[in-house]
Chain A
């Protein structure tokens, strides 16, 4: 009896994680591995393997100008979105970092974007930024073409991206601000630090870890952005907002092009894995 209970005791943790491991293996690791192996094979639309392709699929991918342009566009989106997102969420969190009687009002407003679904937001933006006769133009008195012009479309996607990530990043940062050790802050105050100095040299460095988390979350979202683009701009106008994942959506789901599907999926997965590895290495180096 004692042996049996010992066995159960030892296997219990494995049993608890088993469902999660099983699901991850079934829906994530196994398909990823299959896709990686198939990226070196020629596979037809029905999934039948026709032969060995070597690096042929990757060659098809990199000779497609639309793919190369999607790389550039994703890069541009990252450059515009990540700093804008970090700056704005940090600004909102730092302005409301002190708890007071009325602070729940801005907290509620800043957090509320989380409550609405991604597709609902995208549809709303599509209507708001429709073109020259859009609501936004009427409110702001502008004459911009927004989603009907390449530059305007990119700006609209960035604004939408910030909206989508704002709520969750804000909560993370605000909680980080509020959970910092007050004693350290008070000590700095006693030493005469105040205002900007206190914020940039004490409060901000203390939540560095959380800022890093939000930056990496934003980076991940920027690399993988697809659904808002599918709804808002369909990659257009003139493929100007066609990111890597939208290109993947068109080729893999709409056209059933397995050559692109497997090679690109493997590529993006390795890219995301690299980003996560960099993040983890950085984190471990922290004292």
Chain B
């Protein structure tokens, strides 16, 4: 009997212990601002340095401390944010990309940039429009990037070829740069690449109505009936038919840096790490994304990520203002390849000197500034499922499926995602 009582007391203590522990914690004097981020490898080091600099300077004065927590890739951050919504475990700030926009646009926990009252007059116009919905500016652009055509410059120079201007050019270039052991181009486009390859067509095209879902949820698929996806598929089939195309969906960068493929499409955010991994084996060249055809003059969609906030506090505002300050943006750009979102960063002498020395970093900035400002990334529900579907759909065409049938398949998939989402969220 006594033993039993003792067991009960121990169990009761074990259960209540965490409660006391939490209650006993001293209230910190500094305001902690947690940021969930998706910066990997070298980018993570720089991001943590930026946070540390804040903690040592502005943060020390104002009593604010940034706690940067890595949460996986941009979409993994979204997964964590969705899981934490409503549990009280949301971070103050989360770094996410366009795939998060649909969910965040409907989130009751999101604190918009307008509400925080941050001055965004120095931010790149295309960056602002890329995260603006009918509810205002959802997130503060931080890690902006542009899709680029990466190529093995040493190889291209030795063969006397220039990076292609159009996909027709690309087919010709591939015939020269491909060999039995080296693919001339690797990687299968998905939503991210297609926003540019479809968006640039006819000067400006959208994949979905309502400006790709920015002016209210998309209700209609446009890439099918406007023929833009078909045009792309026809050109891409020709790329495949050269016999020097490697249709892989993972490890593309590793193939490129090891010299096993001569060119790829990738975000400018990889520039520093690609140059780093190549480590002087060959010179890395970057160029604007080849146009699908002569009429595809729209340019490149701004991509990359932004900082979404979930806490309305002066500390969060201070941190966000620091993140978009010209110095931080210039440092971030130099170390990664992201495009500075602050236009003031371009005017600093240090950044000008950096661009002079590293002309590759200029290409992304120029392609964004030359682009049609109406271009917008796609806000589509079930973004990852759609992403995988595009790649499988393109692979079907490469394996001989009829292009019209493939287009209508893809339209049906995206329509299904939109219908399913609107049934659950209206």
Chain A: residues with CB nearer than 8 A to chain B? 5, 8, 12, 42-47, 50, 60, 63-66, 130-133, 145, 147-148, 233-239, 242, 250-251, 253-260
Q: Is the CB of B260 within 8 A of A8?
A: no
Residues on the A chain within 8 Å of B86, using CB: 46-47
| Contact B420 A239, beta carbon cutoff 8 Å | no
A147 touches B250 (CB 8 A): yes
Specify which chain A residues have a CB less than 8 angstroms from the CB of B424 in the assembled complex: 42-45, 50, 257-259
Digit string of B243-261 for contact with A (CB within 8 Å is 1, else 0)?
Answer: 0000111110011001010
Distance (whole angstroms) from the CB of A137 to the closest CB of chain B: 11
Query: For residue B391, which residues in chain A have a CB less than 8 angstroms away from its CB?
Result: 236-239
Closest to B423 in A: A42
Interface window among B75-83, B192-200, B317-325: B75-83
Residues of A within 8 A of B16 (CB): none
Q: A130 contacts which chain B residues (CB < 8 A)? A: 251, 254
Give chain A nearest CB distance to B26 CB in angstroms: 32
B279 to chain A, nearest CB (A): 16
Closest residue to A47 on the B side, CB-wise? Answer: B86
| A-side contacts of B312, CB under 8 Å | none
Are A254 and B392 also in contact (CB < 8 A) when A44-B425, A147-B250 are? Answer: no
The residue of chain A having its C-beta at the shortest distance from the C-beta of B11 within the complex is: A19
B392 touches A239 (CB 8 A): yes
A257 touches B255 (CB 8 A): no
Q: Which of B1-37 contact A (CB under 8 A)?
A: 1, 4
Which B positions have Cβ atoms within 8 angstroms of A?
A: 1, 4, 75, 78-79, 82-83, 85-86, 103, 106, 108, 188, 247-251, 254-255, 258, 260, 381-385, 388-389, 391-392, 395, 413, 416-417, 420-421, 423-425
Chain A residues within an 8 Å CB radius of B395: 237-238
Contacts of B417 in A (CB 8 A): 255
Name the CB-closest residue of B to A143: B181
B423 and A255 within 8 A (CB): no
Q: B389, B420, B424 — which one has the most chain A CB atoms within 10 A of its CB? A: B424
Residues of A within 8 A of B423 (CB): 42, 259
Other-chain contact of B385, A12, A60, A147, A251 (Cβ < 8 Å): A251
Knowing that A147-B250, A238-B188 touch, tell me 6 more A-B residue pairs with CB under 8 angstroms: A47-B86, A50-B424, A130-B254, A131-B250, A236-B391, A254-B382
Contact of A253 with B82 at beta-carbon distance under 8 Å, contacts A148-B250, A238-B395 already known? yes
Say whether A255 contacts B1, CB under 8 Å. Answer: no
Identify which of A237, A256, A259 contacts B250 (C-beta below 8 A): A237
Contact A236 B82 (CB under 8 A): no
- Count the A-B residue pairs with Cβ separation under 8 angstroms: how many? 106
CA distance A16 to B70 in the complex (A): 41
Q: Which of B79, B108, B254, B388 contacts A236 (CB 8 A)?
A: B388
Contacts of A147 in B (CB 8 A): 250-251
B258 near A66: Cβ-Cβ < 8 Å? no
For residue A43, which residues in chain B have a CB less than 8 angstroms away from its CB? Answer: 424
A64→B392 CA distance, assembly (Å) = 14
Complex: A169 Cα to B63 Cα, angstroms: 56
Give the contacting residue for A133; candidates B78, B254, B425; CB below 8 A: B254
Complex Cα distance, B420 from A260, in Å, reads: 9
Q: Report the Cα distance A44→B79, complex, angstroms.
A: 16
B85 CB contacts on chain A under 8 angstroms: 46
Of residues B75, B106, B425, which shows the largest number of chain A Cβ atoms within 10 Å of its Cβ? Answer: B425
Q: Which residues of A contact B188 (CB under 8 A)?
A: 237-238
Q: Which of B83, B385, B413 has the most CB of A within 10 A?
A: B385
Q: What is the distance, in angstroms, from A21's C-beta to the closest C-beta of chain B?
A: 15
The answer to whether A254 and B248 have CB atoms under 8 Å apart is: no
Complexed CA–CA distance, A145 and B417 (Å): 32
- Which of these, A64, A132, A233, A236, contacts B260 with CB under 8 Å? A132
Quick one: closest B residue to A237, CB to CB? B249
* A residues less than 8 Å from B388 (CB atoms): 66, 235-236, 238-239, 242, 250
In the assembly, what is the distance between CA of A253 and CA of B384, in Å? Answer: 10
Residue pair A132, B255 in contact (C-beta under 8 Å): yes
Question: Are A236 and B385 also in contact (CB < 8 A) when A42-B424, A133-B258, A253-B79 are?
Answer: no
